[in-house]
Amino acid sequence: MAPNKPGAASGNGRWHTNLTLNEPNRILIRGYPLDEMMGRVSFGEAIYLLLTGELPGLSIGRLIEAMLVSFIDHGATPPSTLVARNAATTGSSLRGAVAAGVLGFGRHHGGDILACRQVLDDGLTLVRGGASISDAGTTLAGRLVETNEIPPPGFGHRFHTRDPRATRLLQLAHELEVDHEYSQLIRSLEHALARHPALSDRSLPVNVDGAIAAICGDLGLSPQVADALLIISRVPGLAAHALEEQQRESPMRAINPNAHAYDGPSERRLPERRK
Amino acid sequence: MAPNKPGAASGNGRWHTNLTLNEPNRILIRGYPLDEMMGRVSFGEAIYLLLTGELPGLSIGRLIEAMLVSFIDHGATPPSTLVARNAATTGSSLRGAVAAGVLGFGRHHGGDILACRQVLDDGLTLVRGGASISDAGTTLAGRLVETNEIPPPGFGHRFHTRDPRATRLLQLAHELEVDHEYSQLIRSLEHALARHPALSDRSLPVNVDGAIAAICGDLGLSPQVADALLIISRVPGLAAHALEEQQRESPMRAINPNAHAYDGPSERRLPERRK
Amino acid sequence: MAPNKPGAASGNGRWHTNLTLNEPNRILIRGYPLDEMMGRVSFGEAIYLLLTGELPGLSIGRLIEAMLVSFIDHGATPPSTLVARNAATTGSSLRGAVAAGVLGFGRHHGGDILACRQVLDDGLTLVRGGASISDAGTTLAGRLVETNEIPPPGFGHRFHTRDPRATRLLQLAHELEVDHEYSQLIRSLEHALARHPALSDRSLPVNVDGAIAAICGDLGLSPQVADALLIISRVPGLAAHALEEQQRESPMRAINPNAHAYDGPSERRLPERRK
Amino acid sequence: MAPNKPGAASGNGRWHTNLTLNEPNRILIRGYPLDEMMGRVSFGEAIYLLLTGELPGLSIGRLIEAMLVSFIDHGATPPSTLVARNAATTGSSLRGAVAAGVLGFGRHHGGDILACRQVLDDGLTLVRGGASISDAGTTLAGRLVETNEIPPPGFGHRFHTRDPRATRLLQLAHELEVDHEYSQLIRSLEHALARHPALSDRSLPVNVDGAIAAICGDLGLSPQVADALLIISRVPGLAAHALEEQQRESPMRAINPNAHAYDGPSERRLPERRK
């Protein structure tokens, strides 16, 4: 237990928050009145404001919404979802099931964001030292193979050979012209891994963690903020699975992840106005 | 421990989810391809889709975003935020601090939604039996005083005499013409409480929990879905406070909720394009 | 959100704890120096002291240890254990997996304690009104069948027809002469359920939750303390399963509860000195 | 997200646990019938059995009980306790408050165990290379100062200048003749830190985390098992504080850790029979 060192920001015990002012009848979120935001600022934009201190512009706002949508759910089989469902089957509260599900994101599952950013930062160090993006990607791939960090954080997937979420995010970043060195580097690393002789039998596409890590890097968001976006994004999925478990299934059932199927709507297209 | 009764939906162990299809290279959320949604559907709209099965129309979508924004954070003093900050000051992971914060919503704090819906449902039972909205409100107020459920769930606040979030939500619902019997009843109950002789010294305005409970009722959303929206909404706030605690303060500090102040931006207006 | 009413015990913000004194170089647990307790007081006895304020006598101490041992683990299939294992397989911290597992105890699983005590308290109300223990049991059984609370809290089990933990606890309480009206009533209710014509095809023995609820009643422990004993008891089991999952299995595996078996030591007898 | 590699222990999906056999009417914990253990094996001994696979002998059993008692509670001010109390003040369930409290043990608080073992293991590497325990301590102290890991994990305390729990544990280990190289090394390191010129103004005694880390090392327990003992030990304290908060205080109160005092029994001696 570390001795308590008073923080510089907390002289004589007084401390501060720059997030939210809360006083009788008035709530400011980073300076903007909350009631004025309501109906004019979307939830995705408010999340960005709260985490960074400023509202996003149109392009970045659209990318933030896309990132938040990308991780919203991944079906009934991820261990985190099974955590939430197993809690729900015992009749736990929704809060209990959701909190438990949030805890089901260890370093092998959603923990890639921080590690992937570290790898990309190492690559950008090479770039600032004069290497091209292409060469930096090749060097990184070599190191990862050497240290046996395969699959590298941000790459590969249990079953997607091309993660549709990553593909779409990087495409959207490109369309919106907010993809810069991090996104370029991660594409470069993806190509270098695909070309590496030691990995010729492996499929290691960029996955959604990697795409989010890269795009957040290009948006100037810290790895911690990127990590927060992942958690925020998945909470609706955890809640939805917990509720479905309690509404459709009997309590205290044995949940076999290998014995389930999707019985929701067939594939359908978005309404015209959204295209 | 209840004996295990196989669910009707789970013949011979096989079970189903109608939320998300997840197969190699293809993810459908309630039938819509996730990668198509990204960049075209906002996070708020995707949350509604996941929880209800359909995308919202424009008005309802705007109201959903407003509800999600309304509960996004409430400053550093709610006990749930202090739970997250106290976890964060020990150096916990972001997931740990957020999960802990979610658990800091007991029946006195965010648990009002379910109870408030119950009260409103009781009132609507009177209405369907022939009572006017106004008389139902008066009857409910009388019962709540009698059973000493004061403050009633959905009403009153530790320090707001007029909860700006509730005011704005009910106004927006009215503007968008989606306020119906639940919203009318909660306003009626608010007036009846204000008129009740036994409560002349109390300020019991509708609070944000009550407004959300009522509006969700008018939107045909179950109390459980309303409850989920609250949790989903507050997770960004919990994450932001945990991150601020770890970035600005020393570890293992004694967090005194009475000794803090806001040092964020002064009140400012939203950019023109959003008005 | 309920208005904040200052507690009578907290005049001008000052509050108290009667559990533990913690000052430089001195720690008292309910008055006893912690370092003196160490090596002289068992963990089970210290738990009882912390929760009730006094050290247990020899008989009660033995019963407390037995209750704590009775719920320590129940194998890999309870949903709470699967919660912990699913969190562990993602590489979560031990704290995360254990906390998640604790949340996997909803009202159908370990939540029986509080409900069972309620039923028994209802029965003892009848007894204090003049009914015999036997008649009270019969009346309770009738009510539970009528309101379809079958299985009643504290009775029945997913697969034990005679819960060995409940049998042993009630026997030990009898040997130690600490079984009184609660234990007598629960046995009476067990017999009444067995005799009830509507339940002739059901096996509804007292289960461990019921035995603990009854014995705690006879020991004068509140339902909340009984509930605490359950949680405290199961935490070692959750930790052990999380550790085994991380030590023996690959990360991110699909955990099928129907596809496991025990491969630990065969049944063996306790060493001589313990008999 | 790492691709799923089937574990060697899980051919064709079948997996095993060596902890607990659970079948109708029979429960074995590491081979011992649970109902036989009840009344004959203490909770502390059962914890050791579950985590290691064997019952402890008398000396080790006594030390395990002492370690579990040592960390059972540390008053109302540790952040983990404030996490539990803040959850409890909102009316959360006991499980919710306890789970939240468990999450309040980050790397600065109870996370020292794993880090401290690492330091001690580094020192023992020196010893196996021929250094004396004394020289290894001095070398370690030098390294820790150089890398500014002050206070080192397992040393120092927010306010104890001599942690009574650590003193008692190391003494008891010595009396029971189970202190070996880890305990000797930690004492050596303590002396070396005290003698180091750069630390002449600091008080860095071994703390309870360090003592537990060392003793578990001497008992052949892995750092993970030592970590589990800490969590298991503190759960009763978290539960007791959550219950006291809900029983003595009003809901939704602002909990100021600087404004509390102990009002439990004055210091008292253990009953005669325990000395």
Q: What is the pLDDT of residues B211-239, one digit of tens each?
A: 999 999 999 999 999 999 999 999 999 99
What pLDDT does A111 receive? 75
Spatial separation of the C-alpha atoms in residues A260 and C254, rounded to whole Å: 12
Neighbours of B, requiring at least 3 CB pairs below 8 Å, are A, C, D
Residue with token string 């998945």: A234
- Residues of chain B positioned with their CB less than 8 A from the CB of A243: 51, 224-225, 228
| C-beta atoms of D13 and A258 within 8 A | yes
pLDDT band at A108 (very low <50, low <70, confident <90, very high): confident
**Minimal Cα–Cα distance from A227 to chain C, Å?**
15
Please state, for a pLDDT cut of 70, what percent of chain C lies above it.
Answer: 95
Tally the C-alpha atoms within 13 A of residue A70's C-alpha that lie toward its C-beta. Answer: 30
Of B99, B100, B108, which has the smallest distance from its Cβ to D252's Cβ?
B108
- Residues of chain B positioned with their CB less than 8 A from the CB of C110: 1
Question: What length is written for chain A?
Answer: 275
What pLDDT does B161 receive? 84
Spatial separation of the C-alpha atoms in residues A82 and C92, rounded to whole Å: 14
Q: What is the pLDDT of residues A27-78, one digit of tens each?
A: 999 999 999 999 999 999 999 999 999 999 999 999 999 999 999 999 999 9
pLDDT band at D275 (very low <50, low <70, confident <90, very high): low
pLDDT band at B173 (very low <50, low <70, confident <90, very high): very high
Neighbours of C, requiring at least 3 CB pairs below 8 Å, are A, B, D
What pLDDT does C1 receive? 39
pLDDT band at B46 (very low <50, low <70, confident <90, very high): very high
At C156, list the tokens.
Answer: 């029945």
Other CB atoms within 10 Å distance of the CB of residue C7: 13
Res. B104: pLDDT tops 50? yes
Chain A residue with minimum CA distance to B54: A265
Q: Which element (helix H / strand E) includes A242?
A: helix A223-248
Strand order in C26-29's β-sheet?
C20-23, C26-29, C32-33
- Residues of chain D positioned with their CB less than 8 A from the CB of C231: 94-95, 98, 235, 239
Dihedral sign for Cα atoms in the order D76, D79, D82, D87? negative
More confident position, C8 or B41: B41
Spatial separation of the C-alpha atoms in residues B226 and B234, rounded to whole Å: 13
Closest among D154, C211, A42, C221 to B70, alpha carbons compared? A42
Spatial separation of the C-alpha atoms in residues D19 and C265, rounded to whole Å: 9
- Residues of chain D positioned with their CB less than 8 A from the CB of C84: none
- Determine how β-strand B20-23 pairs with β-strand B15-17: unpaired
Summarize the confidence of residues D241-260 as an average pLDDT. 96
| C-beta atoms of C231 and D74 within 8 A | no
Residue with token string 């119950």: B118
Spatial separation of the C-alpha atoms in residues B210 and B216, rounded to whole Å: 10
Q: For all residues of chain B together, what is the average pLDDT?
A: 93
3-class DSSP state for residue A15?
strand
Spatial separation of the C-alpha atoms in residues D7 and A80, rounded to whole Å: 19
Res. A6: pLDDT tops 50? no
- Residues of chain A positioned with their CB less than 8 A from the CB of B76: 17, 19-20, 22
| C-beta atoms of D13 and C259 within 8 A | yes
Of C77, C91, C97, which has the smallest distance from its Cβ to A107's Cβ?
C91
Summarize the confidence of residues B251-273 as an average pLDDT. 94
DSSP C55-96: ---HHHHHHHHHHHHHTS---S-SHHHHHHHHHHHTT--HHH
Strand partners, C17: D262
| C-beta atoms of B7 and A253 within 8 A | yes
pLDDT band at A110 (very low <50, low <70, confident <90, very high): confident
| C-beta atoms of D108 and A2 within 8 A | yes
Of C36, C39, C232, which has the smallest distance from its Cβ to D239's Cβ?
C232
Scored b (16 or more CB within 10 A) or e, A33-53 reads: bbbbbbbbbbbbbbbbbbbbe
Residues 20-59 of C with CB under 8 A from A: none
**Minimal Cα–Cα distance from A75 to chain D, Å?**
15
What pLDDT does B12 receive? 55
- Answer whether C112 touches B (CB < 8 Å): yes
- Answer whether A268 touches D (CB < 8 Å): no
Res. A3: pLDDT tops 60? no
Q: What is the pLDDT of residues C115-127, one digit of tens each?
A: 999 999 999 999 9
Strand order in A32-33's β-sheet?
A20-23, A26-29, A32-33
Closest among D74, D72, D110, D104 to D88, alpha carbons compared? D104
- Answer whether D174 touches A (CB < 8 Å): no
pLDDT band at C28 (very low <50, low <70, confident <90, very high): very high
**Which alpha helices (H) appear in C104-253, and where do they start and end?**
112-128, 133-146, 164-175, 181-195, 208-218, 223-248
- What letter does residue B159 receive in the DSSP assignment? S
pLDDT band at C157 (very low <50, low <70, confident <90, very high): confident
- B130 by Cβ neighbours in 10 Å (0-12 / 13-18 / 19+) ranks as exposed
Spatial separation of the C-alpha atoms in residues D52 and D64, rounded to whole Å: 12
- Answer whether C260 touches D (CB < 8 Å): yes
Chain C residue with minimum CA distance to A158: C252
Q: For all residues of chain A together, what is the average pLDDT?
A: 93
Spatial separation of the C-alpha atoms in residues A80 and C91, rounded to whole Å: 11
More confident position, D201 or D4: D201
pLDDT band at B110 (very low <50, low <70, confident <90, very high): confident
Amino acid at A267: E
Q: For all residues of chain C together, what is the average pLDDT?
A: 93
At C13, list the tokens.
Answer: 């913000």
Of D2, D108, D112, which has the smallest distance from its Cβ to A151's Cβ?
D2
**Minimal Cα–Cα distance from D89 to chain A, Å?**
16
Res. B153: pLDDT tops 80? yes
Res. B39: pLDDT tops 60? yes
At C12, list the tokens.
Answer: 């001008």
Chain D residue with minimum CA distance to A95: D96
Q: Are B265 and A25 in contact (CB under 8 A)?
A: no
In Å, the largest CA–CA distance within chain D is 65
- Answer whether D196 touches A (CB < 8 Å): no
| C-beta atoms of A27 and B74 within 8 A | yes
- Residues of chain C positioned with their CB less than 8 A from the CB of D51: 236, 239-240, 243
Q: What is the pLDDT of residues D122-167, one digit of tens each?
A: 999 999 999 999 999 999 999 999 999 889 999 998 777 889 999 9
- Answer whether D215 touches C (CB < 8 Å): no
| C-beta atoms of C107 and A91 within 8 A | yes
What pLDDT does D225 receive? 97
Amino acid at D116: C
- Beta-carbon contacts of C59 under 8 Å, excluding residues fewer than 6 positions away, are C176, C177, C178
What pLDDT does B239 receive? 98
Closest among B151, B250, B245 to B207, alpha carbons compared? B151
Spatial separation of the C-alpha atoms in residues B99 and B92, rounded to whole Å: 11
3-class DSSP state for residue B36?
helix
Q: What is the pLDDT of residues A147-179, one digit of tens each?
A: 998 899 999 987 778 899 999 999 999 999 998
- Answer whether A210 touches D (CB < 8 Å): no
Spatial separation of the C-alpha atoms in residues A263 and B20, rounded to whole Å: 9
- Answer whether B209 touches C (CB < 8 Å): yes
Please state, for a pLDDT cut of 70, what percent of chain D lies above it.
Answer: 95
Q: Are D247 and C9 in contact (CB under 8 A)?
A: no
**Which alpha helices (H) appear in B57-207, and where do they start and end?**
58-70, 79-89, 94-103, 112-128, 133-146, 164-175, 181-195
Evaluate the omega torsion of the peptide bond into residue C6 and state whether it is cis, within 30 degrees of 0: no
Q: What is the pLDDT of residues D23-58, one digit of tens each?
A: 988 999 999 999 999 999 999 999 999 999 999 999
Helical packing angle, D58-70 and C43-52, nearest 10°: 30
Summarize the confidence of residues A121-126 as an average pLDDT. 97
Spatial separation of the C-alpha atoms in residues B49 and B57, rounded to whole Å: 11
Please state, for a pLDDT cut of 90, what percent of chain B lies above it.
Answer: 85
Tally the C-alpha atoms within 13 A of residue B212's C-alpha that lie toward its C-beta. Answer: 33
Spatial separation of the C-alpha atoms in residues A215 and A210, rounded to whole Å: 9
| C-beta atoms of A105 and C82 within 8 A | no
- Residues of chain D positioned with their CB less than 8 A from the CB of B260: none
Res. C3: pLDDT tops 70? no
At A169, list the tokens.
Answer: 């995010």
Q: By mean pLDDT, which of A38-42, A114-118, C97-101, D12-16 is the weakest?
A: D12-16
| C-beta atoms of C100 and A77 within 8 A | no
What pLDDT does C251 receive? 95
Closest among B224, B35, B28, C254 to A263, alpha carbons compared? B28
